[in-house]
Structure 1
Amino acid sequence: MSETTATPRAPEEAAAPPGAGPGTPTSVLINFCLADFARALLSGLITSYLMVVFIPQPTSSLPVLLPAAAVTFAVVRGVGSVIDAVVDPLIAYVSDRAGGASGRRIPFMRWAVVPWAVSTALLVLTPTGHASWVNTVWVSVFMLVNLVSSSVYLVPFYALQAELVTDTHRRVWFFTLNTLFYVVGSAVVFLSPIIKGALDGAGLSELDAWRATFALFSVIGFVFAAIPAFTVRERRWVRFEPAYVPLLSSFRATLRYPNFVVLLGAYLIMWVAFTLFNATLLYYVTMLIGAPESFATVVSGLAIVVGIASYWPINALARRFGKKPLMVGACLAYIVIYAAIFWYPVVLQVMGSTTFAVLIGLLIGFPISVTNILPAAAFADLTQYDTIKTGVNRAGMFFASRNFITSLGQSLVLFVTPALVALGSTTGQATVEGVRLTAGVAAVAIAVASVLYWRYDDRHVTATIDEYNASAQDRVDHSAA
């Protein structure tokens, strides 16, 4: 059998939805979700703590490692994200056309595991411990390796997520499971300041303590990324035919659905806000609220506990009311929280810093769970909807199109965020007004996202899929009879 020849379908499989797996067992899905734990570790380190290392707070003993730190860091991250955005559709195109013995998604994940994990650790292992253009080159190279290798792993991973589960209700449950692993991984990442503090107290310099923390989590991330890549048998659970649609035609076709464009716009703007918030959370806790650095872990822990407790209600409410009302409601909750951080001097007059920080953790847990679960499930719905309408499974291109647009948006944020955080500084360190401004920008972005989510027609998409699945099952039952 050639590399581009799909496994022939048995007669009883012919009526199944295009690209659908024959009821993937829960044990396989759980194993597959380990990749989301790895994603939380490897991506979370960079999102939440890389800027902390390269743009130190005024009270930190960290050296400034990059010349013109705020500008240099912004350019390195921003340009890297632009390149990453361009690479995503290429990876999706090749993945959609593949058809090897191990499947068309899993081989990419296998090749990407090592460079993704190793580059995460090497980002902070700069050659010198002071501001140097040698460090700039080092960070630029390994940022590019990290972004490209993470795309080679994640674009096929996202596509396979959509292909493993085809029932719309079970899909919400599956993305809840993915979110659980991602949230647990995020909880582990949020221990970084505590681990760094312990290493610092054990005699390491603050810079070496951060380096050791990055190395530790990179090793753990490697293990959890490798398990699904080398154990999930894609061809057993997913039936597919390679999609020989030209690259540009496939990309344009993906953007032809108004529902997809609306959802994509909302998702893009939402992640603009998330990128701002996640990159500056440690600054919010220490510089605005006035709590110790380790208290960021407490805030994150509370959010995680509330978020996990919200999983069952979210599944029940989504089944009853659909995804859209919950996504809009979550955005409104974000607006309140971000606005409170922006107006922190007023809020601190009403309550103490500890109470304020605790409330952030308690209130943000539910909307985080909603926006981690439901938009991802909605994108998977649209992927299956397109497969039903066209008969061609281009799941990779759907998720690459999403990543392409959102990466371009996040590139802009990555250019702007370091400059905002260090607004008014002449030393490259963060300032109170700059950190505060990021919360205001995030609140405005989420407000726009809520309007776009309201325009998403969730019921039409899910009704089409449910009707198709039901008719396919009827044909299978009739054939068996």
Structure 2
Amino acid sequence: MNQAKNPENLPLWKKIVFAAGQFGWSLGGFSVGSLMNYFYFPPETADGLVFRPYIFQGAVFGVLTILGLASGLGRVFDAFNDPWIAGISDRLKVKFGRRRTFMAISALPTALLSVLVFTPPIQGISSVNAVWLVVTVLLFYLSITAYTIPYTALIAELGHSSKDRLFLSTLTSVGWALGFFIGNSVYALKDVFMSLGLEPEGAFRAVLIGFSLIGFTAMILPVIFIDENRYAHRGESKEKPFQAIVNSLKNVNFRILLLSSFSYFLANTLLEAGIVFYVTILMGMPESMAFTLMAVMFILSFVLYPFVVKLADRKGKKQLLAAGFIVQAFVFFLIFLCGITNGSSSLIIGWTAIFIQAVPSAITGILPNAMVSDIARADGIATGSHKAASFFACNGFTMKLAVSAGNFLLPSFLLLGKSVDNPKGVIVSALFSTAVMTGGVYFLSQYDERGIERQLAEEKNPAGVPVL
């Protein structure tokens, strides 16, 4: 199928529509990504467990948990689907679009499964519920991967310059943050539904159904309004899926970026999944305050977005991302301090951590996808094989392995203690994350940003001017 050599620039309103897709899968995927520990391994409050237990709550094989195994298995399964889906999408030749086709097929199943994961069939602890959890988690990750890998590949293909790709990455970051922000309102909204007479489980699921409906609507908008054949830079790739992944990993800068990304996503998973424990156990506040704290942090991060874009353009993406990693490590250290202080001191430290967290949230929300897009585009210029989906598949694989590790580790940490009287497990998770982010700073120091910029400078527009 013939592709336009000089695609049109995407209008601003369609760039916003594109970002709506990120908002949709962020909100739709929030439940499985961040709430499984909360629902299946609920925190202990003064009134007892928040939810009735549905699966065995103790350790299996010594230090593991059923929830940790199910979550880890789901993420690993998901990660190994990435190269398969990316390879098919890179090579697909259909009139509707090689990216839009996958997005159209996967949007509805993703929305439905984001609720079904939290509807175990048996009331009370049962092995049937454990099987249900594993099966629905596997199906969910298959579905959301089929949406996100082609979707993120479009950042490299719809952005026709480095600045354009940075802007698209910024918009999608705003979309993700809005989805995550609204997702964190689950605790407050659950209380609202409970005040109307619903049981905790019913109130929780009512909120998830609302998230699912909103998420599906947003996910389908880019499919409807963005024509790849008109707007996307679509070089061909004839490499088979496994070959494309191997060739992508031959890029040294890409491997370095993946190592730093693994560190960040591992620590970030522990933050997202552990926020309710940090708030209730270490800071001594009600769980609904988790939303308030995250709301403050996200509002502050939005304020910083324009500054991040300007600084990235002026100082470079590498230097700014490294600074974000350093601040993130400091935030986790402050959370650790909350666990070894008492009373008002822990509250002050906790609020300080949330205010500071706005800085790495703004930076890491924008730059990583923009950097992967630049690498993918530069590699296509150098090799003649345009396989953006394969690069994002590797990035997704890394992210999902990190998220798997985080979801695997958190329940095990919590076995050490997850109550006000014994917060040891919650404290250890924060200290561990501090060390992980420190490692991420080291990996990123090896990244050769100028080499990538030189490759991008070789791409010429029709007038013969370098596209930067």
TM over 0.5: yes
The structure-2 alpha-carbon separation of the partners of 1:115 and 1:410, relative to structure 1 and needing over 3 Å to count, comes to same
Whole-Å Cα distance in 2 between the matches of residues 195 and 345 of structure 1?
A: 27
* In structure 1, distance between residues paired with 2:437 and 2:243: 32
Contact kept, 8 Å, 1:420 with 1:435, in 2: the verdict is: yes
Could you tell me which runs of 5 or more consecutive residues in structure 1 were left unpaired when the two chains were aligned: none
Which of 333, 350, 359 is equivalent to 1:357? 350
| Structure 2 counterpart of 1:394 | 387
Please give the per-residue CA displacement for 1:223-243, whole angstroms capped at 9, x wherever unaligned: 111111222211111142441
Between 374-383 and 229-238, the greater mean CA deviation after superposition? 229-238
Matching residue of 1:66 = 55
Give the partner amino acid of 1:472: N
2:177 aligned residue = 183
Q: Contact 1:84 / 1:148 at 8 angstroms: preserved in 2?
A: yes
Alpha-carbon contact 1:57-1:429 (below 8 Å) kept: no
Aligned twin of 2:371: 378
Change (3 A) 1:423 1:66: same
CA change 1:48–1:430 in 2 (3 A) is farther
Q: Normalising by the residue count of structure 2, what TM-score does the alignment of the two structures yield?
A: 0.93
Q: What CA distance in whole angstroms lies between the structure 2 residues aligned with 1:429 and 1:43?
A: 30
Measure the CA separation in 1 of the matches of 2:398 and 2:309. 28
Equivalent in 414, 436, 452 of residue 445 of structure 1: 436
1:458 aligns with 2:449: yes
Kindly, what percent of the aligned residue pairs are identical? 26
What one-letter code is carried by the residue in structure 2 that aligns with 1:449? G
Contact 1:37-1:181 at 8 Å conserved across structures: yes
TM-fit CA distance, 1:408: 2.5
User: 1:430–1:95: structure 2 CA closer, same or farther, 3 Å change rule?
Assistant: farther
Q: In structure 1, how many angstroms separate the alpha carbons of the residues matched to 2:421 and 2:67?
A: 13
Matched residues in 2 for 1:429 and 1:359: separation? 21
Q: Does 1:316 align with 2:305?
A: no
Amino acid across the alignment from 1:269: S
For the residue of structure 2 that corresponds to 1:6, the secondary structure is coil
Give the superposition deviation at 1:76.
Answer: 0.7
- Corresponding residue of 1:276: 270
Separation in 1 of the partners of 2:421 and 2:436?
22
Give the superposed CA RMSD.
Answer: 2.0
Secondary structure of 2:458's aligned partner: helix
Q: CA deviation at 1:412?
A: 2.7
User: Please, what TM-score do these two structures have when normalized by structure 1?
Assistant: 0.91
Provide the rounded CA distance (Å) in 2 between the counterparts of 1:449 and 1:376: 16
Query: Which residues of 2 match residues 265-304 of structure 1 at below 5 A?
Result: 265-304=259-298
CA contact (8 A) 1:269 1:448 kept: yes
Are 1:28 and 2:14 matched, yes or no? Answer: yes
For 2:244 and 2:24, the matched residues in 1 are separated by 30
Give ranges in structure 2 of 5+ residues lacking alignment: 60-64
Aligned partner of 1:50 in structure 2 is 36
| Residues 31 and 120 of structure 1: CA distance in aligned 2, closer, same or farther (over 3 Å) | same
- Distance in 2 separating the partners of 1:367 and 1:348: 27
SS at match of 1:343: helix
Superposition deviation, residue 346 in structure 1: 4.7
Work out the CA distance in 2 between the residues paired with 1:133 and 1:112. Answer: 29
Query: What residue identity is the alignment partner of 1:420?
Result: F
1:416 corresponds in structure 2 to 409
1:78 equivalent to 2:72? Answer yes
CA distance in 2 between counterparts of 1:382 and 1:220 reads 33
Shift of 1:410: 2.8
Equivalent position of 2:218 in the other structure: 224
State how far apart, in whole Å, the 2-side matches of 1:307 and 1:473 are.
38
- C-alpha contact 2:277 2:426 (8 A) present in aligned 1: yes
